[in-house]
Amino acid sequence: MTTDAPAPSDLAFVPFVSVQNMMRLVQSIGVESFIEGIAAYLEEDFRNWEAFDKTPRVASHSAEGVIELMPTSNGEVYGFKYVNGHPKNTREGLQTVTAFGLLAQVDTGYPVLLSEMTMLTALRTAATSALVAKNLMPKGSHTMAVIGNGAQSEFQCLAMKKLCGIRRVKLYDIDPAATAKAAKNLEGQGLEVVSCTTAQDAIEGAQILTTCTADKQCATILSDNMVGAGVHINAIGGDCPGKTELHVDILKRSDIFVEYPPQTRIEGEIQALPDDYPVEEVWEVIAGRKQGRTSESQITLFDGVGFAIEDFSALRFVRDRIKGTPFMEQLDMLADPDDPRDLFGMLQRSSGE
């Protein structure tokens, strides 16, 4: 760089959290505390739900998958997530879902954080599930069944331990190798881990039933006769049209709680129900406006699909927690000429480099 081309000012730099730095940040805080921290931000944003710009995902569909943008704003901060969903990727050694996200100041439009969100989405999904379960599960819940032991399963277990007091997890996957992987990863995490060979075994004695399977076309992971009274179902797999996990009769026996009805009716379990089927919005329960569980025998169902505000909360948490840490880089992403009208001059003056 010549003396004619001064270094960009601080305004031109956007803090970037890479995958490596996200993992370092999570490790420095601890996985459970990190999830608990996101949950606190989630709770704050759910209470402030009505102040947010809400819109269904902006999706670009193709034969192989979907690429989506999920924007939202609370009037002060704007955020969006880029996320893809390509079920066939796994067969090619790629992630089904990759994601990154951004926060910007509404008053200037300047980005203030760019972050990986593959890891962060897993953490925020677990935080959301646990925050919702805390508000809906039967009192004194101690055991959770986890049907589907893929990338999301361990995060769910630790979140439910930290926020809901779960002490025992019962794992089941159609692929025993997935169960073995999850059981091994959960060693030494302070949970009693039971590996099961059928879904029915896993559900036995559990108060929280988590389904987090992927790559299924309207598969029925739970059938009606498997689910007794007095449980909370946390159904977070199957997050696009044509993907469901629960038999429709379970839905009809449950009180259903969702994030944002216009999106969930397209993507969630309730796509199997009529468009006007009554559902509750979880933010109203968390904000204390609506009652959650009303009896011990009730079946509550969180039909979670993941909503933009949850990513927003997670990004806000990361933005606040990376301050003063070395877990970020500064990206020279915004042109910052001395005179905003002189972009061309800025380019010309860079020519000596």
3 binds a second copy (CB under 8 A): no
How far apart, in whole angstroms, are the C-alpha atoms of residue 78 and residue 61? Answer: 25
Determine which residue in the list 40, 51, 248, 335 makes contact with a second copy, applying CB under 8 A.
335
Segment 14 to 43, residues that bind a second copy, using CB under 8 A: 16, 18-20, 23-24, 26-27, 31
Cβ atoms of 244 and 270 within 8 Å: the answer is no
CB of 88 to a second copy, least distance (A): 9
Determine which residue in the list 29, 32, 47, 89 makes contact with a second copy, applying CB under 8 A.
89
Judged by beta carbon, residue 44 or residue 110, the one nearer a second copy is 110
Segment 123 to 152, residues that bind a second copy, using CB under 8 A: 149-152
230 binds a second copy (CB under 8 A): no
Mapping DSSP to helix (H, G, I), strand (E, B) and coil, where does residue 65 land?
coil
Map tokens 């797999």 to a residue.
Answer: 237
Determine which residue in the list 217, 294, 295, 351 makes contact with a second copy, applying CB under 8 A.
351
Residue 71: which H helix or E strand, with range?
strand 66-73
236 binds a second copy (CB under 8 A): no
85 binds a second copy (CB under 8 A): yes
What tokens were used for 117? 């969100």
Segment 257 to 286, residues that bind a second copy, using CB under 8 A: none
Half-sphere exposure of 25 (CA within 13 A, CB side): 29
From the list 5-13, 130-138, 160-168, 225-233, the region that binds a second copy by CB under 8 A is 5-13
Supply the residues annotated as catalytic. Answer: 239
51 binds a second copy (CB under 8 A): no
From the list 105-113, 137-145, 237-245, 300-308, the region that binds a second copy by CB under 8 A is 105-113
Instruction: Please list the residues that pair with 13 across neighbouring strands.
Output: 332
Residue 53 DSSP class: B
Q: What is the DSSP string of 44-82?
A: HHHHTGGGSB----EEEE-SS-EEEEEEEE-SSEEEEEE
334 binds a second copy (CB under 8 A): yes
Determine which residue in the list 2, 6, 107, 326 makes contact with a second copy, applying CB under 8 A.
107
Determine which residue in the list 41, 100, 312, 317 makes contact with a second copy, applying CB under 8 A.
100
80 binds a second copy (CB under 8 A): yes
Kindly report the number of other CB atoms within 10 A of residue 85's CB atom.
20
Helix/strand/coil (H, E, C) string of 86-108?
A: CHHHHHHCCCCCCEEEEEEECCC
C-alpha dihedral (161, 320, 307, 106), degrees to nearest 10: 170
